[in-house]
Amino acid sequence: LAKTTQPISMDSYEGQEVNITCSHNNIATNDYITWYQQFPSQGPRFIIQGYKTKVTNEVASLFIPADRKSSTLSLPRVSLSDTAVYYCLVATHNTDKLIFGTGTRLQVFP
């Protein structure tokens, strides 16, 4: 199973773009990369998933380089409500054993 490494915490200000990078050096060919957001006292919520290159939805963008050994979640123009913990999850197609990393605690200031 691919192990993920993320920064423990990040700070930002409202209106800025935030990029959170996740390292997954031993990612396998069939692995997908998924990001989740968790607010205090709630379960995580799916944000975005990708396999390679770039994926964008109404909430965020996910950038994956050609070697796929890392990925970057990009949150455009963050607001106070984006303060949360963000988890990168690498999941292989061959198993349903989904193990989360330690996550990145994002604090957005006014």
Partner 1 sequence: NAGVTQTPKFQVLKTGQSMTLQCAQDMNHNSMYWYRQDPGMGLRLIYYSASEGTTDKGEVPNGYNVSRLNKREFSLRLESAAPSQTSVYFCASAPGDPPGEKLFFGSGTQLSVL
CB 60 within 8 A of CB 72: no
User: Interface mask (CB under 8 A) for partner 1, residues 76-95, using x and -?
Assistant: ---------x-x-xxxxx-x
**Residue list 1-40, contact with partner 1 (CB under 8 A):** 32, 34, 36
Closest CB to partner 1 among 64 and 90?
Answer: 90
Closest CB to partner 1 among 80 and 98?
Answer: 98
76 vs 105: CA distance, rounded Å = 17
Closest CB to partner 1 among 75 and 87?
Answer: 87
3-class secondary-structure state, position 91: strand
**b/e for 70-96, b at 16 or more Cβ within 10 A?**
bbbbbbeebeeebbbbbbbbbbbeeee
- Out of 44, 61, 63, 74, the residue judged to bind partner 1 by CB under 8 A: 44
- Binding site residues, partner 1, CB under 8 A: 32, 34, 36, 41-46, 49, 85, 87, 89-93, 95-103
